[in-house]
Structure 1
Amino acid sequence: MIDPIALQFGPIEIRWYALMIISGLLLAVYLSAKEAPRKKIRSDDVYDFILYAFPLAIIGARIYYVIFSWYQYKNGSFMNMIAIWNGGIAIYGGLIAGFLFLIFFTRHRFIETWDFLDIAAPSVMIAQSIGRWGNFFNQEAYGGKVGNLDFLPGFIRDQMYIDGAYRQPTFLYESVWNLIGFALILLLRRKPKLLKQGEITLFYIVWYGLGRFFIEGMRTDSLFLAGLRVSQWLSLVLVITGFVLFLFRRKKQDLAYYQS
């Protein structure tokens, strides 16, 4: 088992979980800031956005996790509820909080919301791909029992041996899925007159929703609601919404192409 603590300076612990999230964030900010001028958005706007959005997203991710894992916290202390350094944040909660703030931010800065979303979507996807490895180090967000994981490198296989059995490395499946989605977006957005304004964002929504729907079905630690896990229901909403918006916006003749 890999020690979840990467570095320790006296009483101060720096966990791999935090390092993975911060690494993903820094790469996402760099890529978004580099792409922003293409849509006539200042790099400083990207930096200003992330300064506020990141802590809000962490808070949203934790609130979402606690709400849908209330049985773990209802008899505990308030400090236990906010102890994110021990793991336990839900990406959907972070996305919801970040999206709500983005709407406020773009309107306040007089930036076209869809343009900002289009430069952010691929960066968010690669950040999620990296961030999922935090679950690996914490041995959380894994799937059901499997006979063996011989197709995986030894360090992953050993880390997925939990409570006397090998577990589905769902963190890895989602990480790879997001990495493929990121690569596809980079390829598609280079094609002239292929993707219209907002369609990179909608591709992200549909791609991520599809992946999460199937991967969540393998997990054993999320809440059920009417036969499906809560995150699966939300994934279905994302996929359907993304397809409907794509069809609606594709018919509009006045939308600019991302790459003209």
Structure 2
Amino acid sequence: MLHALLASLPSPSTNTLGPLPIRAYGVMIALGVVAAVWLSRKRWAARGGDPEDVVTIALWAVPAGLIGARLYHVATDWKTYFPDDPLGALAIWKGGLGIPGGVALGTIVGVVIARRLGIRPGPIFDAVAPALPLAQAIGRFGNWFNQELFGSPTDLPWGLQIDLANRPFGYEQFATFHPTFLYEALWNLSLVGVLLLLDQRRILRPGRLFAVYVGGYFLGRLWVEALRIDTASTIGPFRINTWM
């Protein structure tokens, strides 16, 4: 254990930035959104589209995605909030976003807005596809600041140090855990590279690149979910997010 403490990843001592009560979790999400919009604008312009189309869609799809992500989290982890802490379901700044819900509702709203703009959803969603795992990779570092969603105990050199107050019941004696936030971030960055490579080769029909993003992302979630030890609702022996 001493070796693990000497060669491990530290966790932030606070989840705020500076003297102001600015939540690092929210900052990471905001940075992810900015990066995604920036990359999407460049890619849509390279396809001959108006970059402002991306901004217009994002103004609707991003809030919808956040709402969908929060609703999914609350629905799949409802015992945390009901009946004892119903107002806690609104405390999004404390963490708790379910990506499947965000992708689903954000995509639906994005399709609606794209059609209202007279844009075929397939091509513009393909332009956006690599930007989404980029945003998710950045956003995952919000979990690092919150010291949440880590995996099982490990003595590996990259084990994540977790404060005693944030260790789950039954794991108080362990100091370092699998940094599943980092695993997922690295998976997402790899997915960005794969999507860009596939796009350069022009071998996919419109809309298929976005489908590769969805499939690739959830494939990565399978092994990440298998490592996590935080409380979650299950269907049979598996966590709900594994089924999703």
Amino acid at match of 1:25: V
1:205 maps to: 214
Identity %: 33
Structure 2 partner of 1:252 = none
> Relative to structure 2, which stretch is displaced further, 156-165 or 206-215?
156-165
Whether the aligned pair in 2 keeps the contact of 1:61 and 1:89 (CA below 8 Å) is yes
Deviation per residue, 1:33-54 (Å, 9 max, x gap):
1111233331111111111222
Structure 2: how far apart are the matches of 1:184 and 1:196? Answer: 16
Could you list the runs of 5+ residues in structure 2 that have no partner in the other structure?
Answer: 1-10
Gaps of 5+ in 1: 235-260
Q: CA RMSD in A?
A: 1.7
> Retained in 2: the 8 A contact 1:57–1:97?
yes
1:58 corresponding residue in structure 2: 66
Does residue 100 of the first structure (1) align with residue 103 of the second (2)? no
TM-score (normalised: structure 2): 0.86
Corresponding residue for residue 18 of structure 2: 7
Aligned residue in 1 for 2:234: 224
Q: Which moved more, 1:35-44 or 1:46-55?
A: 35-44
Provide the C-alpha distance between the structure 2 equivalents of 1:108 and 1:40, rounded to a whole number of angstroms: 18
Q: Which has the higher contact order (CA 8 A, sep 6+)?
A: 2
**One-letter amino acid of the counterpart of residue 19, structure 2:** Q
| One-letter amino acid of the counterpart of residue 157, structure 1 | L
Do the aligned partners of residues 160 and 26 (structure 1) sit closer, same or farther apart at CA in structure 2, a change above 3 Å counting? farther
Match of 1:178 among 165, 188, 191: 188
3-state SS, counterpart of residue 97 of structure 1:
helix
1:69-103 Cα distance to aligned partner (Å, 9 max, x none) = 11111123443110111111111111111011012
Residue 157 of structure 1 is matched in structure 2 by 160
Question: Residue 189 of structure 1 corresponds to which residue in structure 2?
Answer: 199
Residues 61 and 92 of structure 1 are in contact (CA less than 8 Å); yes or no, is this contact kept in structure 2?
yes
- Deviation of 1:160 (Å): 7.5
The answer for the alignment partner of 1:84 in structure 2 is: 92
- Tell me which amino acid in the other structure corresponds to 2:189: L
Superposed displacement of residue 189, structure 1: 1.6
Structure-1 separation of matches of 2:219 and 2:122: 21
Other-structure match for 2:117:
109
Deviation of 1:14 after TM superposition, in Å, equals 0.6
- Secondary structure at the counterpart of residue 62 of structure 1: helix
2:64 touches 2:105 (CA, 8 Å); kept in 1?
Answer: yes
1:258 maps to none
